[in-house]
Amino acid sequence: MKQNTLYKYTWIICSLVLIATLWSCERDDICASATPTTPHLIVRFYNINERAETKTVRRMNVYEENSSKYLLLDKTLDSIVLPLRIDALDTPNTTRFIIEKDGDFAVDEDDTTASNSDIIEVTYTPELIYVSRACGYKSVFNNLVAKRETDDNNWIIDVQVINSTINNEDAAHINIYH
């Protein structure tokens, strides 16, 4: 009888320990792929003569000033997605992009169109927003200002900020007219 009682108490204690262990487990914190993360800057290119009409930029190369890494290389597009650097939070940050049209990486040997580079300076104030325990924080960019650097041969005629807060990638933030 003692053995039966001992077995019963042992089984009850083991069951309680197992239940307590399972009860104390936390669910897995995995950030869902659909959760919005830090957005990129979206730039659309438009025809300067028909401002509502998009216009592709031929053989475009894009890179950040003082960087040898291309963000875009030899593409013909009417819009681009660019990452913004965060140097300091809650203070104005500046990123300068060099946008080159008719780049030097042409496949067609007969094309003699000269490349032309313009610099776009983007100033913004990054702010961290808490998303969740699994996803952590994402950055939002406020007070967006964009301008082109003037030179002797600008192909970019006008730069217009459409949305001064970058908190998603649903629409363009900057329009460039050429």
Q: What pLDDT score does 27 carry?
A: 63
Q: Show the domain range for 136.
A: 41-177
Residue 138 tokens, joined: 């994402």
Query: In the chain, which ranges are continuous DSSP H helix?
Result: 2-24
23 falls within a domain? no
22 falls within a domain? no
Q: What pLDDT score does 35 carry?
A: 84
123 falls within a domain? yes
Per-residue pLDDT reduced to its tens digit, 85-104: 999 999 999 999 999 998 76
Per-residue pLDDT reduced to its tens digit, 109-167: 555 678 899 999 999 999 999 998 888 899 999 999 999 999 999 999 999 999 999 99
Per-residue pLDDT reduced to its tens digit, 23-40: 666 666 788 888 888 999
134 falls within a domain? yes
Number of domains present in the structure of the chain: 1
pTM > 0.95? no
102 falls within a domain? yes
Across the beta sheet with 57-64, the strand order is 70-77, 57-64, 93-101, 116-132, 136-148
162 falls within a domain? yes
